[in-house]
Structure 1
């Protein structure tokens, strides 16, 4: 289960290096027993291109809301902008991405109940 927090000023948290070069993150809440389960703000630097990593898939549910900037999906040939939202079930292919001007997004990850029941 994610850690408990009452309202707090997320802007007061420092940015730390993200898991990928060119990214920074603010972890808002995390499940210490399952570090992939978290809620965070993620900032991508201008010019970041994830095409070398290829298409992305993961084992958790992911919800993403773009707060600032833009994100171009190289597979779909579409650019997504602030105010747009994505919900991805485990295993859903997405990306790779490129951002010309950078972006900030809210990312929420969790395990689905159906995935927990699978052997």
Structure 2
């Protein structure tokens, strides 16, 4: 189970570069040993994940776009702040590109 946190100032947390994706940084808000996590994910302007192809992973994922824009190249659709998705494990998605950069709230839940 994730640790209990009352409201706290997330600006005090540092953005941690994702070692697997250049141009992606994260602020881990909460996590546990099972792999469950709640995080902010920041994608730099111009980031393009085409080289990774369609994405799939073995955990459920919810994403809420807080700022910026994100284009799904498979769907040929651009999503703006306020967009939300809920993905079951192994659901194909992406690849993506962001012209302006974006920040997302990401909740990952192992199954």
The aligned counterpart of 1:110 is 109
The structure with the larger Rg is 1
The aligned counterpart of 1:117 is none
The aligned counterpart of 1:15 is 15
Secondary structure of the structure 1 residue equivalent to 2:79? strand
Q: Which runs of 4+ in 1 moved over 3 A?
A: none
How many residues matched? Answer: 110
- Deviation of 1:2 after TM superposition, in Å, equals 1.5
- Deviation of 1:5 after TM superposition, in Å, equals 1.2
Q: What 5-or-longer segments of structure 1 have no aligned partner?
A: 113-119
Task: Report the RMSD for the aligned CA atoms in angstroms.
Answer: 1.0
Cα displacement string for residues 45-97 of structure 1 (whole angstroms, at most 9, x for unaligned residues): 00000000011111111000000000000000000000000000001000000
Cα displacement string for residues 12-39 of structure 1 (whole angstroms, at most 9, x for unaligned residues): 21111124110111000011x233x200
Q: What 5-or-longer segments of structure 2 have no aligned partner?
A: none
TM, length-normalised to structure 2: 0.94
The aligned counterpart of 1:45 is 44
